[in-house]
Structure 1
Amino acid sequence: MPYINLQITKGATREQKAQIVREFTETLVSILGKKPEHTHIVIEEIDDENWGFSGVLTDEFRKQ
């Protein structure tokens, strides 16, 4: 049973999330031969102020 936990910053549309789920599932089917009905994908959206990289929080980085 493949399980993908994808963490992204907030802002993706429902349509974008649906495309992510569809394409990740297709990738697991085509590369690993997994069954779509056994594939689970969780998308967690993180507030920009709770995500940091390059020594700064994302909300501060986006202000630059």
Structure 2
Amino acid sequence: MPYVNIKVTDENVTTEQKSRLIEGVTDVLFEVLGKNPDSTYVVIDEVPLTDWGVGGVNVAEYRARRAATE
């Protein structure tokens, strides 16, 4: 019974995109490991930019710093 947790930043991920992710991950688990799609669980969490860190700062700050150097 596979459980996959996908975390993405909350930047307008559409229902269609989420459905495609769920279907794609389920298909890969079946194709690669033979896992039954009926017992495969996929959860998508949307995380605010300020709650996701990279390089010692939140993503909003990280992107602002990168934009300032481009």
Q: Tell me the TM-score normalized by structure 2.
A: 0.85
Q: Deviations over 1:7-62 (max 9, x none)?
A: 11112111111110000000000000011110000101100000010122101122
1:3 partner letter: Y
Higher relative contact order (CA 8 A, sep 6+): 1
Query: Is the radius of gyration larger for structure 1 or structure 2?
Result: 2
Tell me the percent identity. 39
Residue 5, structure 1, aligned to residue 40, structure 2: no
1:29-44 superposed matches below 5 A = 29-44=30-45
**Alpha-carbon distance in structure 2 between the residues aligned to 1:17 and 1:62:** 24
**Alpha-carbon distance in structure 1 between the residues aligned to 2:18 and 2:56:** 28
Q: Tell me the TM-score normalized by structure 1.
A: 0.92
Size of the aligned set, in residue pairs, is 64
1:1-64 superposed matches below 5 A = 1-11=1-11, 12-63=13-64, 64=67
